[in-house]
Structure 1
Amino acid sequence: MTGIYLSGTGNTEHCIKKLFFLLDKTAPAVPMEQKDAIHLLSQHDFIVFAYPVQFSNVPVMVKDFIKSQPDLWKGKKILCVATMGLFSGDGAGCSARLLKKYGAKIVGGFHIRMPDSVCDVKLLKKTFQENREIIRKADRKIEKCAEEIRKGRYPKNGLHLYNRIAGLLCQRLWYYSKTKSYSDQLKISNACTGCGLCTRLCPADNLTLKNGKAAAGKHCTMCYRCISSCPARAITLLGHTVIEQCRYDKYIQNGKKNEPLK
C-alpha cells in the first residue's frame, strides 16, 4: 500500500497520514509534486489517492497527474480520499471516474470534512475552537474508516449516481469555469518582501522571484499553500484581502499530529 496526495494547507496531508498511521505505519504517503512519486506508485498495487475538493471538482493538478500517466493506473486498486470545507457531493467520485477510464479498480471513496482553507474569502470561516472540533470529528471518522478497512469493508462516499447529481447541481455546474484549467488570477501586493517562501512551497512551480519580489505565472492550482503561509499576507486569489491564514497545524496543540485532539 502507498499513498499520493495534494495538500495545500495541511488538511489532506494530515488525513492520509493518519489513515496510514492506523492501517500500516510503514506505508509511504508522498506529496504529488515529489520527484519520485510516480516511481513509488508503480511499485504498489494498492494506492490511496487524496486531494482537496474545489467547487465539487478535482484540482487541475490532480487531473493532469492522472492523465499524464495513463498506463500507471491499469489494474491498481485505489481508494479515493477527498477533503472538503463543507460539501462536495461526489468529491471522491470525480477522480474515481477518471481513474477507471485508465483501468483502475476503485475499491472505495472517503469524504472528510476539514477546516476551510480559502484564506481570502469570509464564507465558511469558523472560530478556532470550531475548527478544532471539526478536526476532532474528522479524526474519529478516519479511525472508524480504518476499523472498517481492516475488516475488508471500504467506504463508498461520493461514488453513487445521486452523489454525482448533487455535486453537479450544487456546485460544479455553476463553477465549472473556475476548475476547468489552471488559474491566472493569483495576485501579489506591494506588501511582498521577496522572502521567496512561496516559490519554495508552490507544488505547481507557478511562483518565481523577479526583481526581489514574488511573481505569479498562469498555472496556479488553487491549493492556497502560498496564501496560507506568506508572512506578509501579500498573496490573494479569489478575494483581495487575506482574512485568515488557515493552516491545519495552527489548530494542533498536542505534539503528535496523527493522534486525535484531546
Structure 2
Amino acid sequence: MNHKDIAWLTARPIAHRGFHKASDGIIENCTQAFDAAIAHNFAIELDVQVTADGKAAVFHDYSLERLTEGTGRIDEKTLADLAEVPFKQTSDLIMDLKALVDHIDGRVPLVIELKPPKIEDGRLEQAVCAALEGYTGKAALMCFSPQSVARLKSLTDRPRGILSLDYSKSKAEEDLGKADPYALTHMLHVMETEPDFISYNAADLPMPGVDLLKAIYDLPVICWTIKSPESQKNALQHCDQVTFEGYNPDKMT
C-alpha cells in the first residue's frame, strides 16, 4: 500500500456535518455549520450524493423530508431542482460540492463521505472527483462501500478511507445482500481497496480488524460519532481522532 502524508487528517477534531446546532438555526451540512467549524479551526466531515444530472450534492439523507420542505429522493432531483428546496430551519440552501470547496477555499481540511445509490454505477465518484479538480485544499474521501473506495483509486490521488462498523450487530446487515458481514467488519477487502485511513464506529471499538490493519499498514483511525467529552476521552484510547457533534472539543473539562 502506498502511504500518503495525511497527518493533517488527525491534527484537529472533525466536525460531523459541520459544527451544527439546530436550536440556533445552524443545520447540518449547511453553510453556517461549515462556517462555524472554520471559525473554530475544526476539520469538516460532510456527505455527498449524486443528483439526477450527475452532480455531487452536499446532503446526508437519501430523501428530503427530514430537513427540508421538499419531498422525494436526492438522486431523482437535478441540482437546479435542489437549489429551489428550502430548509425547514435556515435560509441556507443545498450546496453542490464544487460550490462548497470554493467556499471553504482550503481554510480547513474536508473529510467527504460518499453516499452511493443502491445500484452503484460510478457516477458519484466521477462527480466528486470532477468537483474537486483543481482544488488545492486538503480533502479526503471515504465510503462504506468497498467498491466505491476501490473505484476511486483510478480517479484520484487524494486520500481514500473505508467507513465501517460491527455489521454483526447492525441494522445495516439487512441491506448487505450477498456481502459477508465478517469481511466488512474486519475490512478483509483491504488488498482490493487499499485505503489510506479507517473511519470506524466508536461504539464498536476496539475491534481486532482495526487494530491489525493499523499495526500492519500504519493506517490512521478516526471514529464516529462522538457526542460528549467523556465519550471522546474513551474513544481516543482506540483511535487517532474523533468525528464529533453536540459539544466543543476545545472546551473539555
TM-score, structure 2 length as denominator?
A: 0.31
TM-score, structure 1 length as denominator?
A: 0.30
Q: Which structure ranks higher in relative contact order (CA pairs < 8 Å, sequence separation ≥ 6)? A: 1
